[in-house]
Amino acid sequence: MEIIKLKFNSHGDERGSLIAIEEGLDIPFSIKRVYYVFDTLKNVHRGFHSHKKLEQILICVSGSCKILLDDGKEKSIVNLDKNDEGLYIGPDMWREMFEFSENAILLVLASEVYEENDYIRDYDEFISYRINNN
Ligand code: T46
């Protein structure tokens, strides 16, 4: 499985650091939605779904967490612990998020507005969808 990570430019000086993320420059899709996940405890697992259309970039802007990616054939665990690094997740990829550190903030840039119909939340359905649509 190919893991696509994006590196963002950090502008640092004696005042601190700043990272700017621009559509068209840093992100391969139009950003229609931004959300962030926080106050998630270490032993909690989230996600457990895939998307039919949605593309996203996940950035752990504070702390760290792990992302399990599963394309139906292969699984991979990605550690997100750098605020200048984004993980691209395209459609048809099962994902789970876990091992959130204290104060972890997972920022997500999304290519579409929220649409529950785009989710596949049942693993067997995900596998059948992959078989029938690839
Ligand atoms: C994903 C991973 C990385 C909204 O009302 N609007 C939104 O834009 C989102 C993302 C969620 N919600 C509501 C729906 C649920 O009632 O917020 C609640 C929690 O959502 P969910 O259980 O889907 O959260 P996660 O952390 O399991 O998954 C989220 C995204 O939903 C998903 O697209 O890829 O983060």
Question: pLDDT of 42-82, one tens digit each?
Answer: 999 999 999 999 999 999 999 999 999 999 999 999 999 99
13, pLDDT greater than 90:
yes
Q: Is 36 in the pocket of ligand 1 (CB under 6 A)?
A: no
Question: Which one is catalytic: 11, 45, 49, 51?
Answer: 49
Mean pLDDT of the chain: 96
134, pLDDT greater than 80:
no
Tell me, what's the pLDDT at 54? 98
Q: Ligand 1: which atom is nearest the Cα of residue 58?
A: 3
User: Is there a catalytic annotation at residue 11?
Assistant: no
Give the pair of three-digit tokens for residue 127.
């596998």
The model carries a pTM of: 0.96
Tell me, what's the pLDDT at 100? 98
Q: Is 40 in the pocket of ligand 1 (CB under 6 A)?
A: no
133, pLDDT greater than 90:
no
Query: Ligand 1 centroid to 15 CA: how many Å?
Result: 34
Mutate to test the pocket of ligand 1, among 67, 108, 109, 123 (most ligand atoms within 8 A of CB): 108
Tell me, what's the pLDDT at 102? 95
